[in-house]
Amino acid sequence: MSFSISLTVNGERRNVELQDPRTTLLDLLREHLRLTGTKKGCDRGQCGACTVLVDGRRINSCLALALSHDGADVLTIEGVADSADLHPVQAAFIAHDGFQCGFCTPGQIMSAIGLIQEGQTGDDPERVREGMSGNLCRCGAYRGITEAVLDARKSLAQAERRDAA
């Protein structure tokens, strides 16, 4: 039996035929849509490498059944840059050395975008670290990651104030 679902991924409507109900949202992105920026680390919800935004909220796509997300609006790392311009969080990760090997980085960046939108941290590094604790980095780039998130939060808030003015 096959299942037909439809999602918006990075602003584009995608119809997908699933042969297997076991397909996770992560496998749908990587195997069906060939969006391999979202990484499969542990595949058990422990590392955060598979983090994407679903309807504006960060979740672990490895623990989400694709069938449950029929109709969802998904944002992955491939969809965050504005054509040639990096997203401010991407730029901040480069500026602050927020990675070494880069495997966890798409998940870190998607988690950071979600964290900044949630608006609970202010400029408190302890709240940023706590809010990012669902993303492991085996290279240990945590210090740069925290600085990058704080910096990106500030620049996004400034941009928002400019837009409002």
Partner 1 sequence: MKVFDYARPRTIAEAIAAAAEPGSVYLAAGTNLLDLMKGGIARPDRVVDVTRLPGLDRIERLPDGGIRIGALVRNADLAQDPDFARTYPAVAEALLSGASAQLRNAATVGGNLLQRTRCGYFHDVASACNKRNPGSGCAARDGENRLHAVLGWSEACIATHPSDFCVPLVALDAVVEIEGRSGRREIALEDLHRLPGHTPELESALEPGDLIVAIRLPAEAAAFSAHARYLKLRERTSYAFAVVSAAAALDIEGGRIRQARIALGGVAPKPWRARAAEDVLTGSAADESGFRRAAAAALADARPSGDNAFKIELAKRIVLRALALAAAGTPEQLPALPASSFSSVPGAHHAA
Residues forming contacts to partner 1 in the complex (CB under 8 A) are 3, 20-22, 24, 43-45, 48, 51, 57-60, 63-65, 67-68, 111, 114-115, 118, 120, 124, 126-127, 129-135
Tokens describing residue 61 = 């796509």
Of how many residues is the chain composed?
165
Q: C-beta of 44: minimal distance to partner 1 in Å?
A: 5
How crowded is residue 51: how many other Cβ atoms within 10 Å of its Cβ? 28
Nearer to partner 1, 56 or 94 (CB): 56
Beta bridge partners of 6: 15
Distance of CA 15 to the CA centre of its chain: 21
How crowded is residue 119: how many other Cβ atoms within 10 Å of its Cβ? 9
Helix (H, G, I), strand (E, B) or coil at 128: helix
Nearer to partner 1, 22 or 160 (CB): 22
State the greatest distance between any 2 C-alpha atoms of the chain, in Å, as a whole number: 55
Nearer to partner 1, 65 or 95 (CB): 65
Q: C-beta of 162: minimal distance to partner 1 in Å?
A: 27
Q: C-beta of 133: minimal distance to partner 1 in Å?
A: 4
Nearer to partner 1, 133 or 158 (CB): 133
Q: C-beta of 65: minimal distance to partner 1 in Å?
A: 6
